[in-house]
Every structure is written in structure tokens, then in C-alpha cells.
Structure 1
Amino acid sequence: MTPQSPVAAAARRDRRAVLFGVIALTSLAWLYTIHLAWQMEVMAGPMTMPAPRSWDAVELVLLVVMWIIMMVAMMMPSASPMLLLYTKTLGARVAAPAVLQRSALFVLGYLAVWAGFSLVAAALQWGLHGAALLSPIMVSSHALLSAGLLIEAGVYEWSPLKQSCLRRCRSPLGFLLTEWREGGLGAFVMGLRHGLFCVGCCWALMALLFVTGVMNLVWVVAIAVFVLIEKISPMGDRIARLAGILMAGYGLLMLAGMARG
């Protein structure tokens, strides 16, 4: 067996360290999400369900934190191929100590975008709660809202913006070739850019959590798996379009049912 060069061995260690970090971060986020989902299930009991009320500042902050951690759990697996390829490419360009630092900055930039999305999602949830359009367990309580979100998500799967963002997310090598930037700031900006493409790809799918239940663990997992499949499957773009037809079709059926009712 040919011994590895010191550079190759260091690059291999860096990739392992980054992969371990991603697994650890994702696992912690999923554990917290599962814990919150279990708490929500306990609260859903008929004897313990609190009456709807306004949220205070602390609850709003916790709501934002909940969305951020849930986005980490749902999105880090699908971002891993991009991050690992970035780390591998760095290993051939910079000294070993800088690889982990810049990989961390890339992740920080990526998650900063999803943190911004979480602020918007929490604000939207606050507004829907204030308008009595969400149940106490954070599920849409109005069929028109549910149908509208389903149709919007379905139509968006066919939109040029969705398809453009999905192509960027599905091609880590293409992203590196067109978006490469040097230095620590460059790593952070690349993470931001990749995060923007991912938000552009997935925001409408995340909005469906208001239909299925923001803390409905089954649907949180289902959407996360779907995001992963459409990004890494060879037929991901076709799967996205098929899912769009199904989502929009179900939304239209809901509207038809309301009209008949």
C-alpha cells in the first residue's frame, strides 16, 4: 500500500472532522426538535391544552430559536455534499489550519441565511396566531389558508426561480466553479450565497409546516427527506415538478370542497 503524503493525510483528517461536526450539529438539532415535538404532543391532550392567548417577548424569542434549530436539523443533511466538496477543495489550496476555519465560516454563512428565514417564519407565525388562523398546536385552522399554501408551494415547484435555485443546490461543483472566493470573508460569503440558493429552493416547502403542523414530527421529517431527495437524486428536478402537481392538485381539491360546502 502506498503511504499517503502529509498533505493528503491532513486533507483526509479535515474532511473527517467536518463530517463529524455536521453529524454532531445535525444530531443535536434533531434531538431538540424531537423534544419540542414531544412537548407539543403532550400539550395537545384535551386536559392540558391552554386557551389561545397573545405571546410575550420571551415566547417570541423562543419561537425564533425553535425555527432556527428546526432549519438546522432539516437543511444540514442536504447541504453536506456542498460542504464536504468545499472542504476537499480547500485542502488542495490552503494550509491545514485554515481549512477547518474556512469550512466553519462557510457553515456560519449558510446558517445565517436560514436564521434570517427563521425570523420571517416566526413573524409570520406570530401574525397567523394573532389572526386566529393557527390552532394552539400550530396547525392551520382555516381551510382557505391551507389550500392557498398548498397551491402556492405546488406552483412554485414549477417556477423558473425554484428550478434555477434547485440546479445550483444540485451541483456543488458548479457552485464552486462560479462562486469561489478566497479568504475567510470569502468563505462566509460563499456560505451566504449557497444559503440564499437553498432558501430560494425550499422556502415554499417550509411554509407547508403551517398546514401540516409546525411541530408535527412526521411531516418535519418528510419535508426534510423530500428536500434531500430533490437535491441529490438524479431525477430530483422531475420529482420536484411531480410533487408540485400533487400539492397544487390537493389544494385545488380543498377549494372545490369548500365551494361545495
Structure 2
Amino acid sequence: MPTGTGGGLLPARDLAASWFLILLIAAIAVPAWALTIGQARDMGVEPGTMGMALPLFLLLWVTMMAAMMLPSMAPVAITWVRGIGRQSSGWRRTVRTVEFVGGYLLVWTAFGLLAYAALALTGGLVDDRPTAGRRIGAVAFLLAGLYQLGPLKTVCLRHCRDPMSHLVRYAGFRQPARDLRVGVHHGGYCVGCCAGLMVVLIPLGVMNVAAMAGLALVIFMEKLWSRGPLLSRCVGVAFIVLAVLAPFHDWLLPGLQAPMPMMGGSR
């Protein structure tokens, strides 16, 4: 069996590993988008957690994050999985790849706990005082804009755009659960890169499909476009502008509008 460096077995394994991961990401992301769109159509856009219990919220949150994040993390994952392909084959490569993706989504699940708490708090405030939504929206947009322009965003975005040095570091990770820990480590940087963008789901609505699609596109371009860092700063400035406008324009805050009471049909 050929094992030389002239284009034999190793390139074939690289190609197989890459295609396997692409198919895995597509198999997760496409149904995740379909499920998210279906749930959003049924639930609409309301303040806070929309009455969801934590387990249901986390299930929907992970589904949303799979839809939004997996396409943009594909280059890092493909590079890592190519290394897996050189070291493993068959079912073992499949298990290691699933561990990597699972570790990545595990971090976003943990972040979902913070998102649930923030949404529960803001939803409760809007229920008590509907006019509070304008101030909450302004603060959320402002925090998101400042985060986009801040140093933590820059560091995490640099990691996501140029992962090779980190992949070399990952190669030094030891068992057990090496690939799971690599996924968690990379997922942590991804959360740091996208946290500001997630904040705007408070004023825009956590089940706002148009907002999710727009944010997913921004995340994809920030990480993969040559001018991604410039886009990140432009988005930050745009959020600050929205923070100024939010107190005067309720249409910018669909996720902070208290639902209209139902009109009684009989007395």
C-alpha cells in the first residue's frame, strides 16, 4: 500500500476526512435551519424566553447555534479533521470527528445558560414595565457595539481567522477525550468572537429568523472574508448607531415588545 509523500494514501485520507466533515456539518446545519424556521413560525417573536422552560430553551438554542455557527467553523474543523484522518480511519475517525463537533456545541450550550438568564431578566422587566424595552434595547445595542470594537473580540476573531498556530498547540493535547477538549477550546474562542453579536438577539428576538440569518452571514464573513476585521468594526459602529436610535423607534426592538392583549369576543 503506497505511503510515500508524492500523492498516495495520505492525500486520499485528507480528502476523505474533509468530505466527511463537510457532510457532517451539512447534515447538522441544514436540518437545524429547517427546525429553527419551523419553530420560529409557530412561536413568533416575543420578549424574553417566551415562556420556555430551560431544557426546551437549551434544545432550541443548540439547534440555532448549530445552524448559525457550524458553517463558519468548517475551515478550522476541516484542518483538524485532516490530521485525524492521518492518525485514524474508519469508525475511529468518525468518533473523533463527532467528539470535536460535540465539544464545540457543548460550549455554546453553556453560553445558552447565560442567554436564558439574560432573556428571563429582560423579559420580566418588559412584562412589568413595557416602556423599559426601549432602554434595554439601547443598552443591548451599545454593549454589542462596544464589544465588537473591543480587544477581546479582536483576539478571538484573530484565532478564528488564523487557526494554524492553535492547531499546532492542539496537537499537544493528551488523551483522554482529546478531540472533545479541542472542540471545547475552539468553541470558547468562537463564543468570545460572537458574544457581542448574540447580545442583539435580546432586542431583535431570540426566534427572529431574519436576525439569525443576518448574524450568521456576518459571522461567516468576519471569519472567512479577507476584510472580516473591518466588517467587524463596521458592525460595531452600526450597533452603536442603533443604540442611539432604539429609544425612539420601537420597530428596532421586536424582541422587547410586550404582546398585545387578546380582544375578548364576549363579555
Q: Same fold (TM over 0.5)?
A: yes
Show the counterpart of 1:160.
151
Answer yes or no: is 1:185 the counterpart of 2:177: yes
Q: Is the 8 A contact 2:40 2:208 kept in 1?
A: yes
Answer yes or no: is 1:206 the counterpart of 2:198: yes
Cα shift readout 1:94-120 (whole Å, capped 9, x = no counterpart): 131333222211111111000101122
Show the counterpart of 1:223.
215
Task: Letter of the 1:156 partner, please give it.
Answer: Y
Show the counterpart of 1:148.
139
Answer yes or no: is 1:68 the counterpart of 2:65: no
CA shift, 1:141, in A, is 6.5
CA shift, 1:182, in A, is 4.3
Structure 1 residue matching 2:226: 3-state secondary structure: coil
Cα shift readout 1:125-148 (whole Å, capped 9, x = no counterpart): 22222333599xxx9961111111
Answer yes or no: is 1:246 the counterpart of 2:249: no
**Alignment CA distance shift 1:53-1:111 (3 Å):** closer
Show the counterpart of 1:95.
88
**Alignment CA distance shift 1:225-1:141 (3 Å):** farther
Q: Is the 8 A contact 1:150 1:248 kept in 2?
A: yes
Task: Letter of the 1:11 partner, please give it.
Answer: D
**Alignment CA distance shift 1:182-1:90 (3 Å):** farther
User: What TM-score, normalized to structure 1?
Assistant: 0.83
Q: Percent identity?
A: 29
**Alignment CA distance shift 1:220-1:141 (3 Å):** farther
Structure 2 residue matching 1:96: 3-state secondary structure: coil
Q: Is the 8 A contact 2:80 2:167 kept in 1?
A: yes
CA shift, 1:12, in A, is 2.2
Task: Letter of the 1:177 partner, please give it.
Answer: V
**Alignment CA distance shift 1:240-1:133 (3 Å):** farther
Residues 36-185 of structure 1 mapped to structure 2, 5 A cutoff: 36-41=39-44, 55=51, 59-92=53-86, 94-97=87-90, 98-132=92-126, 142-180=133-171, 181-183=173-175, 185=177
**Alignment CA distance shift 1:111-1:167 (3 Å):** same
Q: Is the 8 A contact 2:13 2:82 kept in 1?
A: no
- Partners of 2:13 and 2:71 lie apart in 1 by 24
Answer yes or no: is 1:8 the counterpart of 2:1: no
- Partners of 1:66 and 1:156 lie apart in 2 by 25
Structure number with higher relative contact order (C-alpha < 8 Å, ≥ 6 residues apart): 2
- Partners of 1:248 and 1:99 lie apart in 2 by 45
Q: Is the 8 A contact 1:133 1:140 kept in 2?
A: no
- Partners of 2:38 and 2:70 lie apart in 1 by 19
Cα RMSD (Å): 2.9
Q: Is the 8 A contact 2:61 2:112 kept in 1?
A: yes
**Structure 2: segments with no counterpart, 5+ residues:** 1-5, 251-267
